[in-house]
Amino acid sequence: MRFLTEKKVRFQHMEAIMTKYGNFSDMGAAMNGRRIDDDTRQTYDGAFIEAHELAKLNIVDTAEKLDMPDPDQAAAAVDLMLRTMFDVFRDTRMEEFAADLAWGFVNSFHMVGKRIEGRADDAAKKLKDMVNEYDPSEIYAVELEDTQLLCQTLDGCSEAMACMRDHAGEVFRSETGRPFNTVRGSRVSSKLTASVIDGKDFLAARAAKRREEHNPTGPVVAFSGGQVWHDHEQLFDRLDQIKRRIPAMVLMTTGMNKGADAVAAAWASSRGTKLVRMDLERRFGHKAAFLRNDRIASFRPVEAIVCEGSGVQSDFARKLRNAGVPLHVFRLADQRPMTPTTTSRRA
């Protein structure tokens, strides 16, 4: 009987999905009473701005009068796309695969956005070169105007795509309890969720004095922990304490995708704190983890959290202690016993 009832509920839900609606906003409101919150709506309104009456997506075609998508419809579409996947698979034998599929959706927004961003960077470089090589001819003036419009259009599309990716990433986090992280590279320009900056991008931006989104400024709080860790609440509490004292903090971790580092990443995502993942440089072999500790120490963290793990964490604690960095040390034995509430609660 319970099985039949649940199947009936899922059928009614799918029936709601298949019903024809006048717009995405109406459809979104009909699905379990879900509505896009005001903060998300304002973020979409800010991202889906038409900077110019005309749009130009490549240097060859003529400019056209093309509107941006409706921000409310875009927000509702992203929400439905992700949540419907979880709803369809929930309480079925395929439930465990929903997160993998949802991650793929979010990553698709990320990869398309990166391609648009690359085209915008190329257009911006060409625009800079043209400005530096001024030519009084009419042909130059037309090409300059076209290049500037191309740059504006691509920048706007890139910002809109990043907004949808961040929204999809937040839905992913709320459904799975895990922040969306890319396989490689950085995830920046985040207004709905925290940025995750790859260590290589961070070092390159620092050396080249690139834009703030790849080189976040602020006091660095270092974090490293073992790959086996279940008590996220004590780490959340301690990080919250540090955040209250250092609101502009940048959290720098040793970049592991599970254990204590994953808990720290989830905290950063939920608190909107910039996160720098200092990954291993594999070319250094067995020394890579210890050299990474040296790199983190070179940023002169103002505080650090160390969770017991391997010799890498012991080396991390020793180097930071020698540098005079205040340490918060958590040992495996300090964790509270796992309970059904602890294991099921979403970070």
Domains annotated for the chain, with CATH where assigned, are 2-176 (no CATH), 196-344 (3.40.50.450)
Question: What pLDDT score was predicted for residue 19?
Answer: 52
Written as one string, the DSSP assignment of 25-38 is HHHHHHSTT----H
Token look-up 């409706």 returns 70
What's the pLDDT band for 327 if we cut at 50, 70, 90? very high
Question: What pLDDT score was predicted for residue 24?
Answer: 47
Question: What pLDDT score was predicted for residue 34?
Answer: 52
Q: Examine the pLDDT at 335 and tell me if it is beyond 50.
A: yes
Question: What pLDDT score was predicted for residue 240?
Answer: 94
Distance CA 183, CA 204 (A): 19
81-85, 142-146, 186-190: range with lowest mean pLDDT: 186-190
More confident residue, 290 or 187: 290
- Tell me what percent of the residues of the chain surpass a pLDDT of 70: 77
Q: Examine the pLDDT at 3 and tell me if it is beyond 70.
A: no
Q: Examine the pLDDT at 101 and tell me if it is beyond 60.
A: yes
**Average pLDDT, integer, range 149-155:** 87
pLDDT in tens, 171-222: 998 898 888 876 555 555 545 454 455 555 555 554 444 444 555 668 899 9
Question: What pLDDT score was predicted for residue 204?
Answer: 55
**Average pLDDT, integer, range 313-328:** 93
Question: What pLDDT score was predicted for residue 112?
Answer: 92
Inter-CA distances, 144 with 63, 138, 158, Å: 13, 10, 21
Distance CA 295, CA 289 (A): 10
Q: Examine the pLDDT at 346 and tell me if it is beyond 50.
A: no
Query: Mean pLDDT over all residues of the chain?
Result: 79
From the list 323, 101, 311, 335, the residue with the least C-alpha distance to 234 is 335
Question: What pLDDT score was predicted for residue 2?
Answer: 43
CB 178 within 8 A of CB 266: yes
Distance CA 347, CA 225 (A): 17
pLDDT in tens, 215-230: 566 889 999 998 888 8
12-16, 72-76, 299-303, 323-327: range with lowest mean pLDDT: 12-16
Inter-CA distances, 207 with 20, 31, 189, 211, Å: 54, 49, 20, 11
Which runs of E-coded beta strand occur in 211-319? 220-224, 250-253, 275-277, 303-307
More confident residue, 91 or 41: 91
Distance CA 59, CA 222 (A): 45
Which residue type does 228 have? V
Long-range contacts of 4-9 (CB under 8 A, 24+ apart): 6/91
More confident residue, 12 or 278: 278
Question: What pLDDT score was predicted for residue 216?
Answer: 61
**Both tokens assigned to 212:** 């703030």
Distance CA 288, CA 281 (A): 6
